[in-house]
């Protein structure tokens, strides 16, 4: 007999608990205060004084910057949410007395903590590294996606695709620096590179100095020849 009773004991306890709970609750359009049920205030309003035996609930509208979005028995309206730019947010829809502010990510940010139609926290889109290209633009809800450049191409991290390295030889130019995944190849004009330019300048200087020396040697030799020449003096005295 005791064994057979057992399965009925628990459901009965559960049913009694549920009914006693329902017995204390009010209709959908009412709220409970003490042992009374009072009519709720509409969205956008709040309770000024609770109902009594001979008066209904009295309500007041929410002040600017506060709201209630449902019929309620609240004595205070909720404060509107701030869309904090420090959290990467801006206002999507301003607060009204019947609805809270909706926030959205700032330009260049994406939401990392969405709540219904709003966002509680956003983060800046990541920047692709040099050697990578932006394979997917970041959106308000997704981060930027980066991919590596394949060999022979480059991107500084801001490109939407990797560019092939400039082929210096096919432009009849000299390769000065080979391209990397982060930077293009650098080409130089024909055969003129830094080495030959410096070499050329040194050669010109040597030629100028050498030429000057040779000229002076020639002048000095000529003068000394004329000074000591007997033929020259003889020639003068004859005239």
Ligand X SMILES: *[C@@H]1O[C@H](CO)[C@@H](O)[C@H](O)[C@H]1NC(C)=O
* 126 versus 160: smaller Cβ distance to ligand X: 160
CB of 127 to ligand X, least distance (A): 13
Which contacts (CB < 8 Å, 24+ apart) does range 76-80 have? 76/46, 77/46
Q: How many residues bind ligand X (CB under 6 A)?
A: 2
**Toward ligand X, which CB reaches closer, 70 or 160?**
160
Quick check: 137 binds ligand X (CB under 6 A)?
yes
Decide: is 180 part of the binding site for ligand X (CB under 6 A).
no
Return the bridge partners of 78, or none: 67
By CB atoms closer than 10 A (0-12, 13-18, 19+), residue 88 is buried
The residue ranges of DSSP E strands in the chain, in sequence order, are: 30-33, 36-39, 45-49, 58-61, 66-67, 78-79, 89-93, 102-105, 109-115, 118-124, 132-136, 145-148, 153-154, 163-164, 174-177, 186-188
Q: Which residue number places its CB atom closest to ligand X?
A: 137
* Distance of closest approach, residue 151 Cβ to ligand X, in angstroms: 23
**Residue 136 CB, nearest approach to ligand X (Å):** 7
Residue from 160, 164, 209, 217 touching ligand X (CB under 6 A): that is 160
Q: Measured between alpha carbons, how far is 233 from 227 in angstroms, rounded to an integer?
A: 9
Binding mask 24-63 for ligand X (x = CB under 6 A): ----------------------------------------
Residue closer to ligand X (CB basis): 30 or 145: 145
CB 164 within 8 A of CB 184: no
Note the residues at the interface with ligand X (CB under 6 A). Answer: 137, 160
């Amino acid at each position: 007999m005791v064994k057979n009773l057992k399965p009925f004991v628990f459901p009965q306890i559960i049913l009694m608990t549920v009914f006693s709970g329902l017995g204390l609750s009010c209709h959908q359009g009412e709220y409970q205060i003490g042992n009374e049920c009072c009519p709720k205030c509409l969205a956008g309003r709040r309770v000024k004084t609770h109902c009594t035996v001979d008066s209904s609930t009295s309500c007041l509208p929410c002040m600017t910057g506060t709201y209630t979005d449902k019929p309620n028995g609240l004595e205070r309206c909720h404060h509107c949410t701030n869309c904090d730019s420090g959290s990467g947010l801006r206002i999507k829809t301003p607060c009204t007395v019947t609805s809270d502010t909706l926030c959205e990510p700032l330009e260049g940010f994406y939401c990392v903590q969405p709540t219904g139609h709003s966002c509680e926290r956003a983060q800046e889109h990541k920047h692709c590294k040099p050697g990578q290209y932006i394979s997917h633009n970041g959106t308000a809800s997704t981060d930027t996606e980066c991919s590596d450049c394949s060999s022979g191409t480059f991107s500084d991290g801001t490109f939407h695709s990797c560019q092939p390295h400039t082929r210096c030889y096919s432009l009849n130019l000299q390769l000065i620096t080979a391209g990397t995944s982060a930077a293009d190849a650098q080409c130089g004009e024909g055969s003129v590179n830094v080495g030959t330019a410096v070499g050329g300048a040194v050669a010109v200087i040597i030629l100028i100095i050498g030429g000057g020396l040779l000229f002076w040697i020639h002048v000095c030799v000529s003068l000394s020849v004329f000074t000591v020449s007997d033929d020259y003096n003889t020639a003068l005295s004859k005239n």
